[in-house]
Structure 1
Amino acid sequence: MTDNPFGGEGFGGLDMNALLQQAQQMQADLQAAQTELAEATVDGTVAGGAVTVRLTGVGDLIGVDIKAGQFDGGDADDLTDLGDMIVAAYRDAKAQADVLASQKLGPVAGGFSDLGSGDAGSLKMPGIDEEH
């Protein structure tokens, strides 16, 4: 028999084994979500597809596509416009990557709110979390 340093069946009825199992499951879920994001890709496009930027789900830039015939490499204004379009396409792709990350990681992060329910008991500390 292992002695619980918090006394009794758990500190305030908290089942430490259940809490540990839940934390391990959340860690595994988080790692799986991060792997999915690293493998996912999103595209940001501007000017009817003149410029497309590809990012991973974690926001790493992996490609830039520029439609042929859209820009004159000898014209300074065209090159400035091209630079601006690349930035705009990146921002579009980054916004999509952020939404994807929120969708993948949101359920995992939401698990923290579940720690006070189910078999794990309540994490409220007497005298600290009491409503006044």
Structure 2
Amino acid sequence: MKANYQRGGGQSMNAMLQQAQRMQEEMAALQEDLDGREYEVSAGGGAVTVKINGKKQILALDIQPEVVDPDDIETLSDILVAAVNEAIKRVEDTNNAEMSKMTGALGMPGIPGLF
């Protein structure tokens, strides 16, 4: 069975494919940019600082000596968890905002599941 494509009033198939390829290239470039970004987040009043990249990989974890108390490891653990979670949230929020800008500009707002 032969497919019937209407050409009147719309873009040609070739033009649509070219536009889709451009969009794919722009999104790949944005993703590469986002992956290369670095973020620094502190928790516990600066007791712990996490450096993370756009791929959500921890690059550095700095702990101030005064927060290390062998009798209270739980507090240090809580601060570490808070710092890492906030760092991940910052990456996700930035990635989502930047992708939303791009997809909105392309006339495709709210594409779920991009990240």
Identity among equivalent positions (%) equals 32
How much has 1:88 moved relative to structure 2? 0.2
8 Å CA contact 2:67–2:76 kept in 1: the answer is no
Q: Equivalents in 2 of 1:45, 1:13: separation in Å? A: 52
How much has 1:102 moved relative to structure 2? 1.6
User: Given the alignment of the two structures, is residue 83 of structure 1 paired with residue 77 of structure 2, yes or no?
Assistant: yes
Q: Equivalents in 2 of 1:18, 1:51: separation in Å? A: 52
Q: Equivalents in 1 of 2:50, 2:5: separation in Å? A: 58
Structure 1 runs of 4+ aligned residues shifted over 6 Å read: none
Residues 15-43 of structure 1, C-alpha deviation per residue, up to 9 Å, x if partnerless? 21221111111111111111111110112
More RCO (CA 8 Å, sep 6+): 1
The change in CA–CA distance for 1:67 and 1:11 in structure 2 (over 3 A counts) is farther
8 Å CA contact 1:45–1:53 kept in 2: the answer is yes
Gaps of 5+ in 1: 115-132
8 Å CA contact 1:44–1:94 kept in 2: the answer is no
Match of 2:88 in 1: 94
Two-structure CA RMSD over aligned residues (Å): 2.2
TM-score by length of 1: 0.69
TM-score by length of 2: 0.77
Match of 1:106 in 2: 100
The aligned runs of 1:27-106 (5 Å cut-off) are 27-72=24-69, 74-75=70-71, 77=72, 79-106=73-100
Amino acid at match of 2:54: G
How much has 1:107 moved relative to structure 2? 2.6
Give the greater-gyration-radius structure (CA).
Answer: 1
Q: Equivalents in 2 of 1:42, 1:83: separation in Å? A: 21
Q: Equivalents in 1 of 2:45, 2:16: separation in Å? A: 51
Q: Equivalents in 1 of 2:5, 2:56: separation in Å? A: 47
